[in-house]
């Protein structure tokens, strides 16, 4: 065996063998094929974790101010969806909840300067609804921050699935006074 073949054989065993593994490689002969040896190596098991990623195109979902029609039917459906992308190697749920500061179950109402009337301070979080389908299947966001709605449940593992989230806001002539209203929410990707 030439010294070059012996060095290559030793290097192959050192690179391929996991720590603590043993193997023997003998190469000799006049031709190249006879100067090659192979040692079988069992690779250690690999623990693959559950993986999930939720991406949102923007973290500010604008709502349309209601017109007379919105007040008459008592809601406004947003025709533009909040664009989400989900990747997961296991089944998953998409959940939405109220995330107002201080545990509040209400929208933040800010009065319009000079309007002469205060914005509603008790507009419930449940007056924002969500659905993955435009115009149907809307679920109200719970007032409690401890609860959430399942926007989608038991979805299959997927790579880069586009998920639309359509919003509906509820309005009433009697309770919703002029002002600026906002509600902070939180989306969660739950892996099985």
DSSP 81: P
Instruction: Answer yes or no: do 73 and 132 share one domain.
Output: yes
Query: How far is C-alpha 10 from the geometric centre of its chain's CA atoms?
Result: 48
Q: How does pLDDT run across 159-184, given as a tens digit for each residue? A: 999 999 999 999 999 999 999 999 99
Q: Which long-range contacts (CB under 8 A, 24 or more apart) does 14-23 make?
A: 16/41, 17/41, 18/42, 18/43, 18/44
pLDDT at residue 11 above 90?
A: no
Pull the structure tokens for residue 54. 């939720």
In a domain, 112, yes or no: yes
In a domain, 46, yes or no: no
In a domain, 43, yes or no: no
The pTM for the full model equals 0.77
The total number of structural domains that make up the chain: 2
Instruction: Answer yes or no: do 99 and 182 share one domain.
Output: yes
pLDDT at 21: 53
Q: Please, are residues 85 and 165 in contact by the beta-carbon 8 Å criterion?
A: no
């Amino acid at each position: 065996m030439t010294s070059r073949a012996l060095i290559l054989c030793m290097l192959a065993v050192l690179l391929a063998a996991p720590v603590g593994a043993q193997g023997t490689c003998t190469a000799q002969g006049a031709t190249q094929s006879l100067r090659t040896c192979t040692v079988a190596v069992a690779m250690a098991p690999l623990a693959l974790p559950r993986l999930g990623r939720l991406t949102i195109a923007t973290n500010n979902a604008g709502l349309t101010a209601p017109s007379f029609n919105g007040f008459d039917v008592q809601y406004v459906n947003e025709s533009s969806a909040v664009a989400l992308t989900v990747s997961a190697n296991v089944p998953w749920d998409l959940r939405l909840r109220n995330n107002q500061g201080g545990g509040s179950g209400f929208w933040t109402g800010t009065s319009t300067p000079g309007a002469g009337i205060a914005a509603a301070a008790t507009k419930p979080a449940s007056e924002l609804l969500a659905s993955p389908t435009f115009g149907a299947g809307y679920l109200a966001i719970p007032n409690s921050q401890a609860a959430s709605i399942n926007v989608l449940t038991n979805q299959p593992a997927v790579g880069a699935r586009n998920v639309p989230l359509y919003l509906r806001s509820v309005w009433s002539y009697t309770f919703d006074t002029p002002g600026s209203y906002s509600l902070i929410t939180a989306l969660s990707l739950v892996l099985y």
